[in-house]
Amino acid sequence: MVNPNLQGLAGVIWLTAITLIFWAVFDSVVALSIFSVGLLGMIAYHHYNLSRLDKWLRSNNISYLNAPDGPGAWGLVFARVARLLRRHQNEVRRLEHALDRLHRATSAMPEGVVILGDADQLEWCNLAAEGHLGLNLKLDGGQHITRIVRQIQFVDYLNFGDFSKPIVLKQSQKSDIFLSLQLVPYGDSEKLLISRDITRFEKIEIMRRDFIANVSHELRTPLTVIGGFLETLLDSGKLEKMEQNVLELMARQATRMHRLIEDLLTLSRLENSQNSPKEERIDIVKLMRGIYQEAQSLSSGRHQIRLNVAREAVILGNEDELRSAFSNLVSNAVRYTPQDGNISLHWIQEGEEGVFFVQDSGIGIEPSYIPRLTERFYRVDRGRSRETGGTGLGLAIVKHILTHHRASLEIVSKPGHGSIFKIRFPASRVLWDGCQKT
């Protein structure tokens, strides 16, 4: 096959040769006139074929089947463009088929799938997601997802940016439907929103929590009565030594059971809370001083306790819950630190985050036990926990409180070298103001 570039060059050579012949036979004026007419003809020919190519490429029903035809180099150009177009159309059909299969597969899934663009706008969703979240792809396409799913918990979840765990929401239109929602980032800044109907599991969990709460409430009254009578008998002063020892043991166990019931009720209340904590402005200096006084009261002079507030700040959250979380960490430090040991309470700034931590010189914990410390009733040493009065629920309560506040718990410990329990608050919940050291 002749190279199309050589074909075009051959036309110029022939025109030049004819021009030279006319130059030799006639004169230069005639020769140049012939050359000009030839060039104009070649330009018109190429312009005509360019117009045909442009018209074909701009047509609405462009296809390699209706590609224009022509002689010489233009015929080869048309053929090559048609070949490229055929490949492109075959690839488009293949991708459309794959996308259609993907849509049909996701539409058949029981989980809801929502595709969000780089600005968190709705790009696509399956039928399950439309039912779960009340979406309508035709009407809601292109809108920001928070304009459609308006629940505060979801908006906070999206804005906070930590998608490692799902959140549980009540369906806004049907109060008896519970959904688990999780965002999965992919690509540059796109996201998948996965929704699951967990109503059956959530109702079982609610039954469990209600059962524990009801039983705890029912046990509280008889325990209070038993404790009252035991206290009366112990204060009577008419007991023999053995009777005194028995009643003191009974009173200690009744107190321990009462503490366990109170912790169960607290944990049940935290687990039943579906809403974010009430936003209060909490003065960290005032809160830390209260926790410090509580630590001194628990220690009764058996430990060296220090307080360090590196900077004044205000935390946005629920004061009662945070006081409970801080108190649990402090009471653990007092409980598991031998007499004359050191305990220090700190509030510091790391970047824009606020950090509260309790450091002690206590007995420490094996690193292998640390991941399970926040489980309910988990104890490293059951006998030691009974001796110190622990219920095994303190760190579980702390975990739930921190989850409500988007905070995290970090534990560093080594046997014989004490422990550090650190609470890290995100920048969105800390307002820094001034600087103070105590």
Per-residue pLDDT of the chain (438 residues; tens, 9 = 90+): 445 555 556 666 766 777 777 777 777 777 777 777 777 877 787 788 888 888 878 877 777 667 787 777 777 888 888 888 888 888 888 888 887 887 777 777 788 888 899 888 998 888 888 888 888 888 888 899 988 888 888 888 888 777 888 888 887 666 678 888 999 998 888 899 999 988 888 888 778 878 877 888 788 888 888 888 888 888 877 777 888 888 888 888 888 888 888 888 877 777 765 555 577 899 999 999 999 999 999 898 899 999 999 889 999 888 988 999 999 999 989 988 998 999 999 999 998 899 999 999 988 888 888 888 888 777 766 555 555 556 678 888 888 888 888 889 999 998 888 899 999 998 888 988 644 433
What CATH code is assigned to 205-272?
Answer: 1.10.287
- CA 325 – CA 402 distance, rounded (Å): 8
**Domain 109-197 matches domain 205-272 at the CATH topology level:** no
360's CB contacts (< 8 A; 6+ apart) are 333, 336, 337, 341, 342, 343, 344, 418, 419
Sign of CA dihedral 21, 24, 26, 32: positive
Report how far residue 300's alpha carbon sits from residue 293's, in angstroms, rounded to the nearest whole number: 11
Domain boundaries, the chain: 109-197, 205-272, 280-432
Half-sphere exposure of 428 (CA within 13 A, CB side): 10
Q: Which homologous superfamily does the CATH classification assign to the domain defined by 280-432? A: Histidine kinase-like ATPase, C-terminal domain (3.30.565.10)
Count Cα atoms within 13 angstroms, Cβ side, for 411: 20
Instruction: Name the phi and psi angles at 71, rounded to 5.
Output: -80, 160
- Whether the CA torsion 299, 319, 364, 335 is positive or negative: it is positive
List of long-range contacts for 294-300, beta carbons under 8 Å, 24+ apart: 294/327, 294/330, 295/330, 295/333, 295/334, 295/343, 295/345, 298/330, 298/331, 298/334, 299/334, 299/343
The pLDDT, as a whole number, for residue 435 is: 42
What's the CA angle centered on 75, arms 73 and 77, to 5 degrees? 70
Please, are residues 407 and 315 in contact by the beta-carbon 8 Å criterion?
no
Asked whether the whole model's pTM tops 0.75, one would answer no
Rounded to the nearest angstrom, the gap between the alpha carbon of residue 248 and the centroid of all alpha carbons in its chain is 51
Please report, as a single letter, which amino acid is at residue 106.
Answer: T
Contact assessment for residue 57 and residue 51, using Cβ atoms and an 8 Å cutoff: no
CB-side neighbour CA atoms (13 Å) of 192: 10
Is 109-197 CATH 1.10.3470.10? Answer: no
Q: Is 330 exposed, middle or buried (0-12, 13-18, 19+ CB in 10 A)?
A: buried
Measured in Å, how far apart are the chain's first and last C-alpha atoms? 92
Number of neighbouring beta carbons within 10 Å of residue 200 = 9
Give the pLDDT confidence score for residue 436 in this predicted structure.
42
